[in-house]
Structure 1
């Protein structure tokens, strides 16, 4: 009998993709049967397309849609994104228990992510071990495990602390780099986040989408530091980098790749700010003119700007596309014709990053995108927007040395066109860019070695596989 595990990601492509990559790995490399639960309430077009294609991959990979729930009376326009995710998740998994009971054979484990911890109580009733796949970076994992202590010890707002946050065994974290959800403790977002991370110690194990050599200090602290051992922190398994392996290409995607085919090696800057990110109107104008002034080749993925919310397209990514000429600066498309390609809403990101002509990636520093860039050996211009992206940006720039940051002037919110021009030229043509590309190549080799047979992530996942298989014998 094949060992059977289930997965339950929270809504959003950034949560679904890494859990699904692990599910595929278990099915195709380790002989598992997988039931992959999907929350369908307010799902985006991109998520719907993804799950349709996923359902065709293997009879051992069963996609199970949780019934849609009516959240119209409990989701409001002024709710922040994390609160919406958690409310939708809580309502959706009310149907999970009978669906788990119906599975045959009973799963030996349920793998959740950071915002589906409500499932722990259900699985305790059913005697199913729960493992948390922490899909974000190790700085956020360390901070999340430390947060209940920080919450208890600190009065007032964390952002008002006079010094960086000292996380045991880890590098100090500047208050300006803290997760958005931790910057207003009176908001429901903070309460939801604290609730979910306070449950991490009750998991049977924590899987992390990274590899040992990328963050030696924090991984060692999570495993060995006396503070984390006393929580107690469950066993930590670095099993990454797990990224998408392939993408479905549309006709317009083929046109983009054909354009790349005709460009010199490492000459194109890829600009994409994630599946949920949107710029303000003023920032989009400055970014566009900064790209034009740099005279560098580029692919710009652009969405209709919003001045209200940087994560404004989280639940609508993959929907109908707008006409970029309606909100890009007048004359921009004409001035950059032949130099750049402007794409509304969505591109096959992995295919672009893999291409020999791509020389750098202007990225929001979401962890999935950061890993995709590292695995392909592409340096970055860090452009964090929301959630934990600022701490990821700091890690990539100051610790790993694979990125530079385009910064706004002191007292300004918007990064100006001249700064963008200078940064782009520095990365694409300057000595700094050569150093970044060399470092990116080192990390590409390191990532591949971790995943190869005998590598640290390969061995970590193999240990997990043995644990799950041992549950069959009990």
Structure 2
């Protein structure tokens, strides 16, 4: 994507200049992989804005990455001390963003490059909100030499689905029959898979916990990795074929297993849902925060591990799982953490915290919020206006 963005700079520049002859184009917004297109906006005489769809922790890491890289003499995973970013919880090097774990890779070099380009933006828009990351939000909101102001404009989440009503009715009907806050939702996202061994441990752990659960099962990775972020890594076989023999029959009175997909927003919003085993992808994290559902953090790849650190040690809305040296989470640990979340004192603590964040998220678009302040700043500056009323006033994204 980054290479393609660079290749398209001349075409984008030409398109922007052409648009300006017919419309009042007032700004250009690039996503996190398109920062090189700031050059096109600058050549067209437009202000440039970066939309960063994940959190302030990851943005801070990216902004500081060129400096960190210049002083780093080893791999992140070899660091003796955690990485301390201003206003952020300390992140162990092994938990840092997975594309940064091999400093010799082309991906790593592109990430450093993006960190440099981000600083060329006139402002950065982040899909987060102050209350979930208060200290770093305060720091990044204030511009400093060589770094633009940052505006948390979240939580931005998808609220609907294109899947037909009939296909999503079964698990919701089942939830309707369960007591309030009694069901643990288990899902590792649309791109996460586990090995057969780890699937077995999850199944037996849920069974040992004696708690109600709704588990979205995907077939294990054919490659045999502990986790995969490849959407085609999932076996094409029926996911239920990989479950332990007799598991569904033994747990049918208190558990439901669905194949590959569930209407996540509706599940999290359901009054029966009381917890979420979450891979800590940022979209899923915001969805569970908006609904006030506490988390058992089970990160797999990308920025999910550092998200898990922030959610457990910073925001205080997640419990962490202990892993063996080979990375497998054993059934006893799963059962213990599930019971703690659903019935224990630690579960009550994270539930209180996420309830407070739910209320803060609901206030995110009210007068006085960062999003509204951003809109006023753009309006008063005669620049980009969110939700522009004038049909001839255009923001290019």
What TM-score comes out, normalization by structure 2 length? 0.88
Tell me the residue number matched to 1:454: 368
Shift of 1:165: 2.0
Q: 1:264 aligns with which of 167, 176, 179?
A: 179
Native 8 Å contact 1:406 1:419 kept in 2? yes
Cα distance, 1:176 vs structure 2: 2.0
**How far has the Cα of 1:338 moved from its partner?**
3.5
Please tell me whether the aligned partners of residues 238 and 460 of structure 1 are also in contact (alpha carbons under 8 angstroms): no
Structure 1 stretch displaced more, 133-142 or 373-382: 133-142
Partner of 1:11: none
Query: Per the alignment, do residues 278 and 99 of structure 1 end up closer, same or farther by CA in structure 2, a change over 3 Å counting?
Result: farther
Distance 1:146 1:204, change over 3 A: same
Tell me how large the CA RMSD over aligned residues is: 2.6
- Partners in 1 of 2:14 and 2:242 — Cα distance? 48
Kindly indicate whether structure 1 or structure 2 has the higher relative contact order, using CA contacts under 8 Å at least 6 residues apart.
2
- Give the alignment partner of residue 230 of structure 2, picking from 298, 313, 336: 313
* 2:243 alignment partner, one of 328, 333, 342: 328
Equivalent residue for 1:118? Answer: 36
Conserved? CA contact 1:147–1:194, under 8 Å: yes
1:69 aligns with: none
Q: Does structure 2 conserve the Cα–Cα contact (< 8 Å) formed by 1:243 and 1:368?
A: yes
Structure 1 window deviating more from structure 2 (389-398 vs 328-337): it is: 328-337
Instruction: Spell out the pairing of 1:141-156 with structure 2 (5 A cutoff).
Output: 141-156=59-74
Does residue 246 of structure 1 match 2:163?
Answer: no
2:349 to 435, 439, 458: 435
Per-residue deviation, residues 86-139 of structure 1 (Å, max 9, x unmatched)? 456656778645554564526322222211223222222222322111111111
Cα distance change on mapping 1:423 and 1:464 into 2, 3 Å: farther
Is the alpha carbon distance of 1:127 and 1:444 closer, same or farther for their aligned partners in structure 2, counting shifts above 3 Å? same
Q: Residues 172, 320 of structure 1: CA spacing in aligned structure 2 closer, same or farther, 3 A cutoff?
A: closer
CA deviation string 1:303-330 (max 9, x = no partner) = 121124734434x59x997412222222
Number of aligned positions between the proteins: 382
Q: 1:202 aligns with which of 120, 125, 130?
A: 120
Counterpart selection for 2:358 from 420, 444, 447: 444
Q: Does 1:371 align with 2:270?
A: no
> Are 1:185 and 2:122 an aligned pair?
no
Question: TM-score w.r.t. structure 1 length?
Answer: 0.74
Q: Partners in 2 of 1:324 and 1:272 — Cα distance? A: 13
1:321–1:345 contact (8 Å) kept in structure 2: no
Provide the rounded CA distance (Å) in 1 between the counterparts of 2:154 and 2:121.
19
Contact 2:213 2:255 in 1 (8 A): yes
Instruction: Flag structure 1 segments of 5+ consecutive residues without an equivalent.
Output: 1-84
Q: Any idea what the Cα deviations from partners look like across 1:125-176, whole Å, max 9, x if unmatched? A: 2223221111111111111111000111122323222212232454432212
